[in-house]
Chains A and B, each alone.
Chain A
Amino acid sequence: MPTREKLKNYILENYLFTDDQSALNDSDSFMEQGIIDSTGIMEVVFFLEEEFDIQVQDEEMIPENLDSIDNLVAFVEKRQAS
């Protein structure tokens, strides 16, 4: 499954509890939409590390990397490329 699809399905199923793809735009901010709380962010990092076999560094846990589908995809692809 492509990275984008995998990430979007994960967020939709686990935070919005839906499989309706139109429920979230890829550029929507999770914070602004109230989708993810402080423990939710932790869950997202667990998911990234398990699913994509990457290690998320402390300084990388910022909204620029984690706060939308677009940001997550860019972050995962960048880390996989490095």
Chain B
Amino acid sequence: MCGLAGVVCAGGVGPDLPQRLNKMIATLHHRGPDSTGFYHGDRAGLAHARLSIIDLEGGAQPVHNRDGSVQVVFNGEIFNYIELRQELVAQGHRFYTHSDTEVIVQLYERYGDQFVHHLNGQFAIALWDENKGKLILCRDRVGIAPLYYSEANGKLIFGSEIKSLLPELGHKPTINLNALDQLMTFWAPLSPNTLFQGIYEIPPGYMATYDLNGFKLTRYWDWQFPTHRDYQGGSDSELAEQLHELLIDATRIRLRSDVPVGAYLSGGLDSSVLVALIHHHSNARLRTFSIGFDSKSHDESDYQRLMIDQVGAEHSAITCSEQDIAENFYNTIWHTEAPILRTAPVPMRLLSGLVRSQNYKVVLTGEGSDEVLGGYDIFKEAKIRQFWARKPDSSFRPALLKKLYPYLDISPGRAQQYLKSFFGSDLDQPDLPYFSHTPRWTTTAKCKDFFSASVKSALSANPIELLEQSLPRDITQWHAFNRAQYIEAKTLMAGYLLNSQGDRMLMSNSVEGRFPFLDHRVIEFANKLPPKFKMKALNEKYLLKKSMAKYLPDEIVARHKQPYRAPDIPAFFAEQTPPYVEELLSESAIRANDLFDAKRVSLLLKKIRLGRAIGYKDNMALVGILSTQIWHKQFLG
């Protein structure tokens, strides 16, 4: 991955463009420390910070067409560039580099705006067509590579991270309170919103054009599911074999690189699958990286060791302590550019730091498997709730939740009425498109009880209603399991997992992540599968296990999925509280920003210090409030 930034103004970008572009791209040095490149035109300027991975000698950007009228800067990878290049050469195109970027230029010359349909990859692209006076911004299908823009007074500015837009904004940034409301419901603002007023993301799967006709966003791809149960036919064995072949190819093309490629290994099924695929189907030298935790309940190192021993990888691991989280949390928010509700991104940043310290800058990683192939507990929870909704008076049906949340077995919450209270929301409306997610959103939204009176009065839109308006028209005709997958992919995955916890944590240390499970061919294949092949009864990722079990230790296939978690409240309060936490959560600091109610925050802190805060809600509220205060200081202060 790399960083890009730019400015387009039909009335002329101004004579000081080079200095301004320099300022913008300087903010993205961490994304592309190897070199910078610029295009200075009358109406457009492009800047690029390069992390050299493919065509180390000739891949500098911008890349242009023969007469220089089409200029491209691009962040990411086009994994099928070799095949595309061969096709274009056969059609008479001539190339001056060996890079994947030039393939974009030539595809645009051949297919116009439709070029994006040919790409298999992760990308944020800015393409300037001087002859047409047109800028194209587009982003990969699922949201791996970030891309932001802001338009005002006939000028469009854009960049890989929001911080690159700020020098060109022309005013002090302000907070988008409705986006904060959305973040404290879904864990991320609803696309295209960001926490910054007037700054938006190009949504995953969208292309934007900007010319004399103005700014226009067009969706070119979306997650689609069968509407009338017309699933892919075939036995589970046949479909498992097809999935296997697809995953081999998705992994194979993601090993294309002119620098060595490593892999994350968490000890879970997904990263173990990738490590096994690399081991069995490529000549690449296996190099793996993992993180473990001091706290035993968060640690997976025993499972990591099983896999390492099986494939004989050269492995590096670090251990993350609560103190590491406390010490690195502040700077992590500079990279997420948004508040977070869990500390989980911090260890991911330490892990990418480990990768970089070993002179690796590319890793394969298993994100996306749970969304694509049906792994999350929220899918199981929704399945049990759907089952329960058919017979709401049953005491047996909700008791299945105890299989999912073993703590319920020893909790007072196991009583029938409590289960109904905690998990029974919308039982009377099981066909709601977002039925699967209402318990999670209700819990998360408790963070908003801490909003100040002025924030509460300023909020103007119900986040769930807004989300509902953005859903596909035919979603109610999809299977309930597929509805849950869609909501998960569009909210938590794109907005948080691939962003705050993904790209941002990788690129903060100049490391590129590659995601074979998010190859669009894998997604499109999986979306046609009968839901029973994703989750058989309550056995998650059934088809993935069937297709890959032969490569994996039995313990990894059989283990109960462990959600990736890191210590939250204990990181800041178990021993010494870092001075920045004391300062930013002080009554005066809370009152000064007026985003949260100072009295409530002080009572939360009192509860924490008495050791009484043990639930999800208190953990999320603390991390959410602290990260919002940090974000405010770093970007608006």
Contacts and interface: CB of A to CB of B under 8 A. Distances in A.
A41 B413 CA distance: 7
A17 B600 contact: yes
A16 B446 CA distance: 10
B614 A38 contact: no
Given A31-B421, A37-B616, A37-B617, A17 B412 contact: no
Interface in B569-625: 597, 599-601, 603-604, 606-607, 612, 614-617
Contacts of A67: 417
B613 to A, nearest CB: 8
Contacts of B289: none
Given A41-B411, A66-B412, A18 B615 contact: no
Contact of A43 (B599, B604, B614): B614
B606 A18 contact: no
A71 interface: no
Contact of B616 (A39, A45, A56, A62): A39
B450 A42 contact: no
A31 B614 contact: no
A17 B607 CA distance: 9
Interface in B404-460: 405, 407-408, 411-413, 415, 417-418, 421-422, 442-443, 446, 449-450
A56 B412 CA distance: 10
Contacts of B606: 13
A61 B606 CA distance: 26
A13 B618 CA distance: 13
Interface in A1-55: 13-14, 16-19, 31-32, 34, 37-47
A70 to B, nearest CB: 16
A32 B420 CA distance: 11
Most interface-central of A37, A40, A45 (chain B CB within 10 A): A37
Given A13-B606, A61-B415, A37 B599 contact: no
Contacts of A18: 599-600, 603
A14 B612 contact: yes
Contacts of A34: 442, 446
Contacts of A62: 415, 417
A18 B453 CA distance: 14
A37 B615 contact: yes
Nearest to A60: B412
A26 to B, nearest CB: 19
A27 B517 CA distance: 51
Given A18-B603, A31-B421, A38 B415 contact: no
Interface of A: 13-14, 16-19, 31-32, 34, 37-47, 56, 61-63, 66-67
Interface of B is mostly: helix
B616 to A, nearest CB: 7
Given A31-B417, A38-B411, A62-B417, A43 B615 contact: yes
Nearest to A13: B603
Nearest to B599: A18
Given A17-B604, A18-B600, A43-B615, A37 B415 contact: no
A32 B449 CA distance: 16
Contacts of B612: 14, 43, 46-47
Given A31-B417, A63-B417, A41 B603 contact: no
Given A17-B449, A62-B417, A37 B422 contact: yes
Contacts of B422: 37-38
B607 A42 contact: no
Given A34-B442, A38-B407, 18 more contacts: A14-B607, A14-B612, A17-B450, A17-B599, A34-B446, A37-B422, A37-B443, A37-B615, A37-B617, A39-B614, A41-B412, A42-B412, A43-B615, A62-B415, A62-B417, A63-B415, A63-B417, A67-B417
Contacts of B600: 17-18
Nearest to B605: A17
A34 B604 CA distance: 17
Contact of A40 (B442, B450, B599, B615): B615
9 contacts: A13-B606, A18-B600, A37-B443, A38-B413, A39-B407, A43-B612, A47-B612, A61-B412, A67-B417
Contacts of B407: 38-39
Contacts of B614: 39, 42-43
B413 A17 contact: no
B595 to A, nearest CB: 15
B447 to A, nearest CB: 11
A72 to B, nearest CB: 13
Contacts of B599: 17-19
A8 to B, nearest CB: 14
Interface string B161-173: 0000000000000
B411 A39 contact: yes
Most interface-central of B412, B600, B604 (chain A CB within 10 A): B412
A38 B408 contact: yes
A15 B418 CA distance: 17
Contacts of A45: 412
In the A-B complex, the 7 residue pairs with the closest CB atoms = A38-B413, A61-B412, A39-B615, A31-B421, A17-B600, A17-B603, A41-B412
Contact of A63 (B411, B418, B603, B615): B418
